[in-house]
């Protein structure tokens, strides 16, 4: 093959590659804003393949053009610089292709590892939520604690309030694992707003009761506002759950511990309102 023919072949290859780049580049720029996140990895893989092919074609064409000029001279040339440059160019081209391939493999491995880490973290959070809910005091403990706190408040002529939060999960979070995570986050959001002397209980599935010694109706209303803010943040932008807060105070609204228990029982679902809720972690949903 003559040098002129090599140049013509290389020029035609370059023209074809430039045409392909322009064609698909314009189409890519038009669709760039419409690419779904799930398609980004696929498009990056396609671009890597295209880059490797472009390097192979361009390097092969240039090597084909250089070969006659480098090796068709005299048998004992005065210098071996052209041959060294030729071999170096071929080696560099191979290394560049290998780098792109290795980069793509590394990115794929890292993404796979990140997906596994996110899955493990999600499972750990769900398990922590299940453990939190299963270890919370239940309705029977709530009754005993309420009676004791009422006697203390009555003897010391102090105030006593009870707050109950009912959680309603969004339909998209009806799956047990997702429901446990949402309820656990709700319990944490409530606990963060309480004082050290306050106590939180799981009265039934998605029903939390809080005993507030020393707080009257006015203080409970302010606390309810703070709890509502925390629950709204825990629900997130996807509205994982909605909630309702009920309160009752002694001595403003009731005069006995029995009345307090009756009011709280009335807030719970009618069937088995005093049933122990912690039998199975998946019972919360």
pLDDT tens per residue, range 234-257:
888 778 888 999 999 988 888 888
Strands (E), 86-138: none
Give the CA-trace dihedral at 85, 91, 94, 96, to 10 degrees: -80
**pLDDT confidence bin for 30, thresholds 50/70/90:** low
Mean of pLDDT values over 21-40: 58
Categorize the per-residue pLDDT at 161 as very low, low, confident or very high, splitting at 50, 70 and 90. Answer: very high
The predicted pLDDT at position 244 comes to 92
- Residue 268, φ and ψ in degrees, nearest 5: -80, 160
pLDDT band at 272 (very low <50, low <70, confident <90, very high): very low
Task: Indicate whether 259 pLDDT > 80.
Answer: yes
**Tokens 């493999």 -> residue:** 105
82 vs 280, higher pLDDT: 82
Q: Would you place residue 74 in the very low, low, confident or very high pLDDT band (cuts 50, 70, 90)?
A: low
């Amino acid at each position: 093959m003559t040098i002129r023919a090599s140049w013509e072949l290389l020029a035609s290859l370059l023209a074809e590659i430039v045409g392909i780049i322009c064609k698909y580049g314009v189409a890519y720029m038009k669709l760039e804003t419409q690419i779904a996140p799930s398609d980004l990895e696929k498009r990056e893989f396609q671009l890597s393949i295209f880059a490797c092919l472009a390097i192979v074609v361009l390097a092969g064409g240039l090597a084909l053009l250089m070969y006659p000029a480098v090796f068709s001279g005299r048998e004992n040339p005065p210098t071996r610089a052209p041959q060294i440059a030729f071999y170096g160019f071929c080696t560099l081209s191979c290394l560049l292709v290998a780098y792109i391939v290795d980069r793509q493999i590394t990115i794929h491995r890292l993404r796979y590892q990140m997906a596994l880490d996110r899955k493990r973290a999600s499972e750990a959070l769900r398990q922590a939520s299940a453990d939190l809910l299963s270890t919370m005091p239940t309705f029977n403990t709530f009754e005993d604690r309420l009676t004791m706190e009422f006697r203390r408040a009555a003897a010391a002529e102090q105030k006593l309030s009870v707050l109950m939060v009912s959680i309603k999960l969004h339909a998209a979070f009806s799956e047990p694992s997702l429901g446990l995570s949402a309820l656990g986050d709700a319990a944490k959001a409530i606990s963060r707003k309480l004082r050290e002397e306050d106590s939180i209980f799981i009265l039934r599935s998605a029903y939390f009761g809080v005993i507030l010694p020393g707080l009257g109706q006015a203080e409970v209303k302010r606390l309810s506002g703070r709890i509502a803010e925390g629950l709204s943040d825990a629900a997130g932008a996807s509205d994982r759950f909605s909630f309702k807060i009920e309160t009752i105070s002694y001595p403003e609204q009731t005069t006995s511990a029995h009345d307090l228990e009756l009011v709280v029982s009335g807030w719970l679902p009618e069937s088995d309102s005093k049933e122990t809720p912690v039998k199975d972690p998946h019972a919360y949903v």
